[in-house]
């Protein structure tokens, strides 16, 4: 299965997919990385792994023009599953329609709690005792698509945004390749807005 990854930053979630493929844990091909920040380290990670890395600039252009450029790249690489791995742009209905039920995202909170870009801060301010990460299918709403898998971590009394984020990130690196493996194996289906994971 050909995967296309969209990312904006350091690329540690992207690296977890690369590592899973290289170790044989994940039987899939990372066909292309698209990144939208020119200085993002994720581009270097892709180059080191021998994966095509395409920079698509979102600045100074309409959102749909930006997304059409990304769709063209993904289609050129025969991408079957789009993985958002720290991609900091909201996708429009146009993009989602092009890859309906074939886009997954990882979010550093236990959705539906704490959607958006400041989930660790929001969790700490609310005083929750557990947090974690969620992998979900992407729909037209922000961080609101059908949930596939979640992983929990404790929230400690002395946590900062950084320490909580680091603890969650370790779980992200485990669960994201697992979800891709489940998808590639045809084990995920959406029924009534909920994701069912079938046995082998």
Evaluate whether 58 touches 111 at the Cβ level (below 8 Å).
no
CATH number of the domain within which 65 lies? 3.40.50.170
Q: How far is CA 43 from CA 68, 132, 133, in A?
A: 20, 26, 24
The answer to whether the beta carbons of residues 84 and 78 sit under 8 Å apart is: no
Q: Are 64 and 35 in contact (CB under 8 A)?
A: no
Residue by residue, pLDDT tens for the chain (200 residues) are 999 999 999 999 999 999 999 999 999 999 999 999 999 999 999 999 999 999 999 988 899 899 999 999 999 999 999 999 999 999 999 999 999 999 999 999 999 999 999 999 999 999 999 999 999 999 999 899 999 999 999 999 999 999 999 999 999 999 999 999 999 999 999 999 999 999 87
Domain that holds residue 144: 2-197
Kindly list the distances between the CA atom of residue 169 and the CA atoms of 96, 131, 143, 152, 180, in Å, as whole numbers in the listed order: 26, 11, 17, 11, 17
C-alpha distances (whole Å) from 21 to each of 14, 15, 27, 162 are: 11, 10, 6, 28
User: Exactly one of 107, 118, 136, 173 is catalytic; which is it?
Assistant: 107
107 as an active site residue: the answer is yes
pLDDT tens sequence across 42-93 = 999 999 999 999 999 998 889 989 999 999 999 999 999 999 999 999 999 9
Helix, strand, coil abundance in the chain, percent, nearest 5: 35, 25, 40
When divided into structural domains, the chain yields a total of 1
**Distance, C-alpha 4 to centroid of its chain:** 11
Please give the model's pTM, rounded to 2 decimal places. 0.95
């Amino acid at each position: 299965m050909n995967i296309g990854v969209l990312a904006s930053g350091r690329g540690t979630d992207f690296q977890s997919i690369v590592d899973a493929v290289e170790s044989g844990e994940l039987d899939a091909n990372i066909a292309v990385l698209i990144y939208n920040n020119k200085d993002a380290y994720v581009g270097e990670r892709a180059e080191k792994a021998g994966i095509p890395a395409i920079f698509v600039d979102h600045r100074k252009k309409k959102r749909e023009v930006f997304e059409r450029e990304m769709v063209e790249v993904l289609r050129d690489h025969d991408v079957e599953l789009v993985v958002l791995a720290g991609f900091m742009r909201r996708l429009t209905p146009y993009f989602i329609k092009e890859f309906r039920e074939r886009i997954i995202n990882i979010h550093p909170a236990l959705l539906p709690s704490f959607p958006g870009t400041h989930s660790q801060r929001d969790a700490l301010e609310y005083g929750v005792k557990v947090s974690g990460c969620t992998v979900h299918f992407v729909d037209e709403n922000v961080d609101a698509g059908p949930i596939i898998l979640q992983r929990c971590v404790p929230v400690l009394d002395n946590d900062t945004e950084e320490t909580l984020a680091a603890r969650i990130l370790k779980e992200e690196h485990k669960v994201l390749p697992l979800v891709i493996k489940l998808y590639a194996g045809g084990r995920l289906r959406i029924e009534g807005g909920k994701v069912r994971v079938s046995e082998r």
